[in-house]
Amino acid sequence: MPTNIVDVLKKRFLETIKAAPSSSRWKIVVVDSQSLKIFSAACKMSDIWEESVSVETVENIERTRQPYPLDAIYILTPCQDSISRLVDDFQRKAGPLYAAAHVHFTGALDNIVFQDFNRRLRVTGVSKSIQTLKEIYCEFIVLESAVFTLDNPHSFFTLFGPDDKNEADAEVQRIAKQVSSSPPNYSFG
């Protein structure tokens, strides 16, 4: 049983990797820069080796990568850039980078990003490559067993600076969403 926040987050990531079905013994994990910060703060490489993920197959979606005939487990932040890169991985002229995708977002997709993602999947036909699509709600970086950060130094200035009240209210909502990790109300229809 996890006893601290590091253990809880580590368990969540390892269960995410373990739960993704794969036709091969080996797995590939694809992250973006922000989710890599979250992931590496909770897990050591030795932790994920036990789940048949080698160091060479933890890849950053923002970098050029080699294709593998394996399923990929994507752990991404819920932003426009990451969904664009994910779709691009499966609509390349040379063929998809991976056999299939198991996509896990670190937080909830807001309505606009979700609608755009849904549209892109339908228009490009990439939806047939997505085997799993989940939100795992871990939009924070653990620093110690009982300490975490939201990793946004601009929040302080937005909240307490001379900016307008609407911007400060939006920042409070964003912070609350990160801390509570509760999904928004959107429909999948």
Average pLDDT for residues 148-152, to the nearest whole number? 60
Average pLDDT for residues 108-131, to the nearest whole number? 93
Is the pLDDT confidence value at 186 over 60?
Answer: no
According to the model, what pLDDT value does residue 149 have? 60
Instruction: For residue 35, give the nearest of 5, 66, 1, 74 by alpha carbon.
Output: 74
More confident residue, 88 or 163: 88
* 159 in any annotated domain: no
Long-range contacts of 54-59 (CB under 8 A, 24+ apart): 54/26, 57/26, 57/27, 57/28, 57/29, 58/28, 58/29, 58/31, 59/28, 59/29, 59/30, 59/31
Is the pLDDT confidence value at 141 over 70?
Answer: no
According to the model, what pLDDT value does residue 12 have? 84
Q: pTM above 0.85?
A: no
d(CA 135, CA 80): 15
Residue 17 dihedral angles phi and psi, to the nearest 5°: -65, -45
184 band by pLDDT with thresholds 50, 70 and 90 = very low
Q: What are the structure tokens assigned to 83, written together?
A: 């969904």
59 band by pLDDT with thresholds 50, 70 and 90 = very high
* 153 in any annotated domain: no
Of 21-25, 117-121, 143-147, 184-188, highest mean pLDDT: 117-121
Average pLDDT for residues 42-59, to the nearest whole number? 70
* 91 in any annotated domain: yes
Per the structure, the complete domain to which residue 70 belongs is given by 5-144+175-180
Total domains in the chain come to 1
**The domain that contains 46 carries what CATH number?**
3.40.50.2060
* 166 in any annotated domain: no
d(CA 106, CA 111): 15
